[in-house]
Structure 1
Amino acid sequence: MISFFKVKINIHSDNLQSAINKKTNNTSLSSKSLEKLVSIANTQYEFKNGEAEFIIRGTPCSTDVNYGKVSKLIKEIKIIKSFKDDSFINSRIHSWEVNAKELLKTNYNPDEEKQLLGKGSRGTVYKDGESILKKTKNLTLNEIFHEANMCNEYHIKIQSFKKPPTIVEKCIEMPFINGKTPNFKDTLIGVNDLFKNGFFMGDAKPSNFLKTPEGSVEPIDFGLVFKHDTLESIDHEVKKNIISDYLKGGFRYIPNEIKNEYHSCIVKLDDILGKDSPTRKINLKILSKAGL
């Protein structure tokens, strides 16, 4: 008769449950067995920052833990147990659960509890209660302040009485608007309504608006929104991005009746930037399509 004690864990075919089954009669776990259990946990839960080392062996790990995967292990480990209720391994399983919970507690990431709405080149957007939280990416403080100020000025202009945007550690908290992504026609309406309130958008496109249940089309991304009477004072990088994104496709969503006004602003920004303008690096065919 073969003793379970001598059955070896196979890191290529075992999961945590089957590995534990093989150690039911053990009274201890060797360093080699622990190493194999760590390897299996890493594979099973896609750990990459030492999470399994901490949970199974108590070894300190990175603070950049995978919150979702550790949470999954905690949920699943509650039903993992050995064949024998009095097996030594059961106490170890309980200690792993305790360690995993401690790992989440000491490496708490509040973003995991927020609803992810989308990711883009300039940041990641979450819904947090009645607010939108935008974690900016590769933006200067001037660019962040520009977006927050434009959002604030717009909501003051339309008298929405929503909570003004705030900035905390390169994150912008803005009012949440319920709605769905508009189609091409509705996007034109949104751009036109924005214009009527005195605002332009360099990167006009459907994903930067929401059509509310009431039927209005509201702007939700103010990173490249600007006013025609403050062109000189716009941050240098924002100026460049307004022109760049307008030429990349923003011009396609400008209603015909206001294209002249948009064209005038883009030309002025181009003159202000001079040799730093993105137009100096774009071929004539694209410039022509954009009306420049």
Structure 2
Amino acid sequence: MRLEKSITVRKSKLHKDQTTIKLYVFSALVVVLLLIAVFASQLVPYDPYQQDLGKALLAPDSNHLLGTDRYGRDLLSRVIMGAQSTIFSSLLLVAIISVIGTSIGVFCGYKGGKIDSIIMRISDVFLAFPGMVFAIAVAGVLGGGIMNAVVALACISWPKFARLARGQVLSIKNMPYISAAKLSGSKPAKIIFKHLLPNMMGPILVTATLDIGTMMMELAGLSFLGLGAMPPIAEWGSMMSNGRSMLQTSPWVILAPGCAIFITVMLFNLLGDTVRDVLDPQTKK
């Protein structure tokens, strides 16, 4: 029995150490991505917006590591600059839907009653539609532009966080320490910010981290359809849309931003999975 217990403890410690190492590694890689996005204008080897038709559709070489597009613009420079608009717009979108959705969910879960029923039925209406189709409709009404794409996706993405936050509040608000806080005379605002939010932020944080990749792909999808970033703004989805007709003749034009999306989404998803493992040690792959 002692041997089995010792082996179990060692396995648990090894799993915890591996998870911590993964967290540090993926966090460092995401920080590198964010630094590239922040300092994109200083890192680009060429002007990402300068056109030179004499160098149009050059294959990757020592001068242009990822080649050039149909206007002779350096693709490496445009991919680096595109990180700024793509990553920051995705982070802004996740911040908006997580804050709004969580606020609505906490209010509904704590207040209850008719207001809770009405708002949850409204969220049911949003959840009943295919998200991307609804976003395309809203973005089409608002018109093109990266900020309009963010607004369109925010309109249909908040119910996920509202449902999650409401469920967390319903499971926590009847706990003994919440009852004790009410009996001590604490006001609802104090109970929410001091007791409810700190105990429910784990699932919210994990969902938000995992949602970054999803929102990035949906923003890129809207840009690909012409409902997001407008030319000549360097944005990965828009770059893929502009190069889709040259996939067979000049594949680097679409593969460069496509690989950038793939790598970035993969890193954020791996970070989200690792954060989940850290906050919930019982979760195992």
For the superposition of Structure 1 and Structure 2, which TM-score range results when normalised by the shorter chain? under 0.3
Q: Which has the higher contact order (CA 8 A, sep 6+)?
A: 2
More helix by share: 2
- The structure having more radius of gyration, on CA atoms, is 1
